[in-house]
Structure 1
């Protein structure tokens, strides 16, 4: 079975994806990926503490927020800011081309 692939389509797809996601869009993505969960977990910690009758100071919640946000920024930034390579892009699988013929299989006939 032979497969037909085109490098032209692959290189065009790479160029389109590179142009589509600029640095500002990636920074917005990093901000959402790091600040969103940090806000969520700060609210969850505050609600859990309130439920147990503990009062947390604003400084404590701010320190937890900063720690979570900075950690997620440090993890997400290298992943999201790297330049896409041909291996990391999701492309369509190669199309399998097979030759069909009608009638009995003459090569395996006895």
Structure 2
């Protein structure tokens, strides 16, 4: 059961730009299927390529029935979503919890 799995934490880099997309995708592929928290507490910039990677990851985790959570979301991360025309709900979906930074 997904709720019984150990929740892994993956800290997203501060800059999620074109250069960050391939290593981000590779790391998420390696973690696929695990109960995972994406810690967005350091994110200062969210670009389109990394957003595509995160959207694909959210879809993969939903398809696998695995828990995926986004925590520590910064204002800059939310600004990036808004700039790119994506709502937090579109990224998180019903199955992905999203926790804003205090």
Q: Calculate the TM-score normalised by the size of structure 1.
A: 0.23
Structure showing greater radius of gyration is 1
Higher strand share: 2
Q: Relative contact order (alpha carbons < 8 A, sep ≥ 6): 1 or 2 greater?
A: 1
Q: Calculate the TM-score normalised by the size of structure 2.
A: 0.24
